[in-house]
């Protein structure tokens, strides 16, 4: 028995425009074999093993996305919210302290939420092997059996065999050049560093306290002063912000004498780019990968992602085309690592496309900005059954609401009334208002905002 700990932070900027700051890749369904998001797929590949309810590490901004995706998958979990990103060592420390808070000392399986594993059977076999080593107080890391001289990954150098399941770690190696990576591949003594681990909570914390005491102390105090809010565990922001920003490799694994590596040959990828996604996806006879509505003629080795519009490709080779509701990426497959430069450019120009999708997810539902101009903005609003927006008002805009489907309970000033399909109401500037869905099906409505200033900082919550 073990507790899965899923690290669901990160931005995934190299998978722009699908991955955005407020909706990064771990919450996307990138695998064309099923409709699971990467977070849900991470939970799914543990299914069948003897595991307790998972602990999810997330940041504040993504908390409702995490909770909703876990609920839709059908799992229960504890969700720890990081007040700020502090790398993997503090994130794992928070989970370890939370895991032993009730007087137990469980084994933790640390996984990233944004990896792909194509062979679930081989994955679970490696987990079972690691479980035996972790139960004897070893700190287990999983080494991916390399299939190519990859220069984009760190490597683990294996040492002497330990038992019949793994090897002592001789050393961790930073990303090598091509010549060195080719030597690693020939030697068969090196594995890709997966960033996944298994160990007892107490063993990890004891090593962390010995090797990186500042991280240990900050995280211990942050968890000690934590509060619970709905599905979320909120650690102390003041204490956590004192914590150094270090990876678990640097803080513990590279320094400890307890590190062992278990090989994993399970079709693993960290999906760090569009070309990496192409490599792990199912391809047609022309080596193309496509999602959505795509027509391909004389096209080979391409990835086409078209969930919203028809994309037609003629005579293309080794090209990436990704379409979203507000952006289109066209890139040579060999240059996709440079997509992050596009994101940096968008940040410098303060454009919203690096941060938000046209659709914005909230605890109550979804807002899709379908049109806008200098003095107007049109949103398609979906409110989930039993959910409601906060009471609010605006100083610079008025709003018209038209119900498309479902039933809306509207608060407008002192009045409270119901609206059904094809009915509408007008919210003048300065009037307090709220909308809620009292029904059993989704409420959809068109919201037309008009005024001189339409930004979200003109929302006064009451």
What mean pLDDT comes out for the span 330-345?
94
pLDDT at 9 over 70: yes
What mean pLDDT comes out for the span 313-337?
95
Please enumerate in sequence order all residues whose Cβ is within 8 A of that of 147, keeping only pairs 6 or more positions apart, or say none: none
Closest CA to 4 of 70, 133, 99, 93: 99
Provide the terminal-to-terminal Cα distance of the chain, rounded to the nearest Å: 47
Place of tokens 């933790």: 108
Query: 448: cis peptide before it, omega within 30°?
Result: no
Query: How far is the CA of 88 from the CAs of 77, 214, 249, 457, in angstroms?
Result: 19, 14, 9, 33
Residue 410 near residue 416 (C-beta atoms within 8 A): yes
Highest-pLDDT range among 26-30, 350-354, 384-388 = 384-388
Place of tokens 């160990």: 199
What mean pLDDT comes out for the span 322-348?
94
Which pLDDT score, from 0 to 100, does residue 32 have?
55
**Whole-prediction pTM:** 0.86
Task: Report whether CATH 3.40.50.300 matches the domain 3-269.
Answer: no
Place of tokens 């008002």: 393
**Do 359-461 and 3-269 fall under one CATH topology?**
no
What mean pLDDT comes out for the span 141-148?
93
For the four alpha carbons of 408, 409, 415 and 420, in that order, the dihedral sign comes to positive
CATH class of 359-461: mainly beta
Place of tokens 């890749």: 25
Which pLDDT score, from 0 to 100, does residue 151 have?
87
Name which of 29-33, 315-319, 331-335 the model is least confident about.
29-33
265 vs 125: CA distance, rounded Å: 10
Query: How far is the CA of 409 from the CAs of 229, 242, 378, 425, in angstroms?
Result: 27, 45, 20, 11
pLDDT at 104 over 90: no
Q: Which helix (H) or strand (E) holds 331?
A: strand 328-332
Three-state secondary structure call for residue 64: helix
Which pLDDT score, from 0 to 100, does residue 85 have?
87
For the four alpha carbons of 207, 208, 214 and 216, in that order, the dihedral sign comes to negative
Q: Which helix (H) or strand (E) holds 295?
A: strand 289-297
225 vs 206: CA distance, rounded Å: 20
Name which of 1-5, 109-113, 343-347, 360-364 the model is least confident about.
360-364
Which pLDDT score, from 0 to 100, does residue 285 have?
96
Which pLDDT score, from 0 to 100, does residue 100 have?
92
pLDDT tens-digit map of 227-283: 998 779 999 999 999 999 999 999 999 999 999 999 999 999 988 899 999 998 889
Q: Which helix (H) or strand (E) holds 7?
A: strand 3-7
Residue 31 near residue 45 (C-beta atoms within 8 A): no
Phi, psi of 168 (to 5 degrees): -65, 145
Question: What's the whole-number average pLDDT of the chain?
Answer: 92
- Alpha carbons within 13 angstroms on the beta-carbon side of residue 199 total 28
pLDDT at 75 over 80: no
pLDDT at 428 over 90: yes
Q: Where are the beta strands (DSSP E) in 2-154?
A: 3-7, 55-59, 78-82, 107-112, 116-117, 139-144
CB-based burial label for 42 (10 Å; 0-12, 13-18, 19+) = buried
pLDDT at 33 over 60: no
Q: Identify the DSSP state of 249.
A: I
- Residues comprising the chain, all counted: 462
Phi, psi of 103 (to 5 degrees): 85, 5
pLDDT at 31 over 70: no
Query: How far is the CA of 171 from the CAs of 71, 189, 193, 246, 311, in angstroms?
Result: 40, 11, 11, 18, 47
Share of the chain above pLDDT 70, in %: 99
Domain ranges across the chain: 3-269, 282-348, 359-461
For the four alpha carbons of 62, 67, 73 and 76, in that order, the dihedral sign comes to positive
Quick one: residue 357, left, alpha or beta (phi over 0 = left, psi -120 to 50 = alpha)?
Answer: beta
Please enumerate in sequence order all residues whose Cβ is within 8 A of that of 430, keeping only pairs 6 or more positions apart, or say none: 393, 394, 395
Name which of 128-142, 162-176, 183-197 the model is least confident about.
162-176
């Amino acid at each position: 028995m073990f507790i899965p700990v899923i690290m669901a932070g990160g931005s995934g900027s190299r998978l722009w425009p699908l991955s955005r700051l407020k909706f990064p890749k771990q919450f996307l369904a990138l695998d064309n074999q099923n409709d699971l998001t990467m977070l849900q797929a991470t939970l799914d590949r543990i299914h069948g093993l003897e595991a307790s309810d998972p602990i999810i590490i997330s940041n504040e901004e993504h908390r409702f996305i995490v909770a909703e995706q876990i609920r839709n998958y059908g799992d229960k979990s504890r969700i720890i919210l990081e007040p700020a990103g502090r790398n993997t060592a503090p994130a794992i420390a928070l989970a370890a302290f939370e895991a032993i808070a009730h007087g137990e000392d469980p084994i933790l399986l640390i996984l990233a939420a944004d990896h792909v594993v194509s062979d679930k059977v081989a994955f679970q076999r490696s987990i079972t092997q690691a479980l035996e080593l972790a139960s004897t107080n070893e700190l287990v890391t999983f080494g991916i059996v390399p299939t190519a001289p990859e220069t984009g990954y760190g490597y683990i150098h294996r040492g002497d065999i330990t038992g019949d399941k793994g090897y002592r770690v001789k050393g961790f190696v930073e990303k090598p050049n091509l010549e060195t990576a080719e030597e690693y591949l020939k030697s068969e003594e090196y594995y890709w560093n997966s960033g996944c681990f298994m160990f007892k909570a107490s063993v990890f914390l004891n090593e962390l306290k010995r090797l990186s005491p500042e991280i240990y102390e900050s995280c211990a105090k942050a968890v000690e002063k934590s509060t619970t809010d709905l599905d979320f565990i909120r650690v102390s922001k003041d204490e956590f912000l004192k914590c150094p920003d270090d990876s678990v490799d640097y803080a513990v694994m590279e320094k400890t004498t307890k590190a062992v590596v278990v090989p994993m040959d399970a079709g693993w990828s960290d999906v760090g780019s569009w070309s990496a996604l192409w490599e792990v996806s199912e391809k047609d006879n022309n080596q193309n990968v496509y999602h959505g509505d795509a027509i391909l003629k004389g096209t080979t080795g391409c990835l086409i992602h078209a969930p919203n519009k028809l994309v037609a490709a003629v005579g293309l080779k080794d090209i990436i085309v990704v379409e979203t509701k507000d952006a289109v990426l066209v890139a040579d497959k060999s240059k996709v690592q440079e997509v992050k430069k596009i994101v940096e450019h968008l940040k410098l120009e303060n454009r919203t496309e690096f941060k938000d999708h046209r659709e914005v997810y909230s605890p109550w539902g979804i807002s899709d900005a379908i049109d806008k101009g200098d003095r107007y903005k049109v949103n398609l609003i979906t409110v989930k059954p039993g959910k409601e927006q906060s009471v609010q008002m605006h100083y610079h805009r008025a709003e018209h609401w038209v119900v498309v489907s479902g039933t809306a309970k509207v608060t407008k000033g002192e009045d409270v009334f119901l609206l059904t399909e094809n009915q509408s109401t007008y919210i003048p500037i300065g009037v307090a208002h709220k909308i809620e869905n009292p029904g059993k099906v989704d409420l959809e409505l068109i919201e037309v905002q008009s005024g001189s200033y339409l930004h979200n900082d003109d929302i006064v919550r009451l």
